[in-house]
Each structure stands twice: as C-alpha cells, then as structure tokens.
C-alpha cells in the first residue's frame, strides 16, 4: 500500500509541476506551485525526513508562494497606473 501511495504522490507532483509551467494565468500558476510544494513535503515525510518536510512547507509552500502573490499584486497595481 505504501508503494502505491508513493506513486500517486509522485504522479501528482509531476502533474502540478507541469500545470505550474504551462498555465497562462499567474494566480493559477502560484496555486499549482503551492500544491506541488505541499506534495513534495508529503513525499519527504513519507521518506522519514520530517525536518526537511517542515522546512519545505515553511519555505517553499509558505514564504515563496506568499512573496510571489505579493509580487503579482504589485504588478497589477503598476499596470493600472
């Protein structure tokens, strides 16, 4: 059962990575990047690396996604001016 779960998580990581690269809407790209980062953290946790998983969640899924969304907000304001 664990092997099947690993394959599912790996496939979902690849799917959301491709979505993040191919989608045109930047907000959807940020959301798919965030989901991909969360799935990578789950994969790390399944490999018995809980500290790496927590850092992955804190840095990639949290901080970088928030910074990217803030950048999108600033870019939209500049386009309106």
In tens, the pLDDT along 12-61 reads 999 999 999 999 988 898 899 999 999 999 999 999 999 999 999 999 88
* Predicted local distance difference test score (pLDDT) of residue 25: 87
Write the secondary structure of the chain as one string of H (helix), E (strand) and C (coil). Answer: CHHHHHHHHHHHHHHHHHHHHHCCCHHHHHHHHHHHHHHHHHHHHHCCCHHHHHHHHHHHHHHHHHHHHHHHHHHHHHHHC
Q: What global pTM score does this model have?
A: 0.85
Structure tokens at 56: 């992955």
């Amino acid at each position: 059962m664990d092997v099947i779960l690993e394959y599912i998580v790996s496939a979902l990581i690849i799917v959301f990575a491709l979505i993040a690269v191919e989608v045109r809407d930047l907000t959807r790209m940020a959301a798919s990047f965030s989901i991909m980062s969360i799935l990578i953290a789950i994969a790390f946790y399944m490999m018995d690396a809980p500290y790496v998983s927590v850092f992955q969640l804190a840095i990639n899924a949290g901080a970088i996604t928030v910074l990217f969304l803030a950048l999108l907000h600033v870019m939209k304001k500049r386009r309106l001016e």
